Amino acid sequence: MINALRWLVFAIAAFAMNFPILVTLVTSFKSTRELSTNPGLWVQAPTLDNYLAVFQVSDRLNIFLYLFNSITVAFIGTTLAVVLALPAAYAIARGRLGERTLLPFIVNLRAVPLIIFAIPLYMMFQWLALLDTRLGLGLILSIVNLPLALVILVNAIRDLPGELDEAALMDGASRTQILLRVIAPVCRPAIVTSLIFGFITAWNEFLFGLMLTTSKAVPITVGASFFFAASGGGVQWGVASAVMVVGALPPVLLGLIMYRQISGSMTAGAVKG
Catalog residues that contact other proteins under the rule CB under 8 A. Answer: 161, 163-164, 166-173, 177, 181-182, 185-186, 188, 266-273
| Closest distance of CB 166 from other proteins, Å | 5
Compare residues 234 and 269 and give the one whose CB is closer to other proteins.
269
| Closest distance of CB 100 from other proteins, Å | 17
Measure the CA–CA gap between 32 and 218, rounded to whole angstroms: 27
| Closest distance of CB 189 from other proteins, Å | 11
Residues 6+ apart with CB under 8 A from 15: 22
The alpha helices in the chain, defined as continuous H runs, are 2-17, 19-27, 32-37, 49-54, 63-95, 102-109, 115-128, 134-158, 162-170, 175-178, 184-186, 188-204, 207-212, 220-226, 237-262
Compare residues 210 and 266 and give the one whose CB is closer to other proteins.
266
Compare residues 210 and 262 and give the one whose CB is closer to other proteins.
262
Compare residues 35 and 164 and give the one whose CB is closer to other proteins.
164
Compare residues 93 and 140 and give the one whose CB is closer to other proteins.
93
Compare residues 124 and 270 and give the one whose CB is closer to other proteins.
270
Nearest to 88 by CA among 183, 170, 172, 216: 183
Nearest to 213 by CA among 144, 134, 139: 134
| Closest distance of CB 265 from other proteins, Å | 8
| Closest distance of CB 160 from other proteins, Å | 9
Measure the CA–CA gap between 109 and 117, rounded to whole angstroms: 10
Exposure string over 163-173, b if 16+ CB within 10 A, otherwise e: ebbeebeeeeb
| Closest distance of CB 266 from other proteins, Å | 6
Are 15 and 200 within 8 A, CB to CB? no
Compare residues 191 and 230 and give the one whose CB is closer to other proteins.
191
| Closest distance of CB 98 from other proteins, Å | 20
CA dihedral 118, 123, 125, 129 (to 10 degrees): 150
| Closest distance of CB 171 from other proteins, Å | 4
Exposure string over 190-213, b if 16+ CB within 10 A, otherwise e: bbbbbbbbbbbbbbbbebbbebbb
SS3 130: coil
Compare residues 43 and 167 and give the one whose CB is closer to other proteins.
167
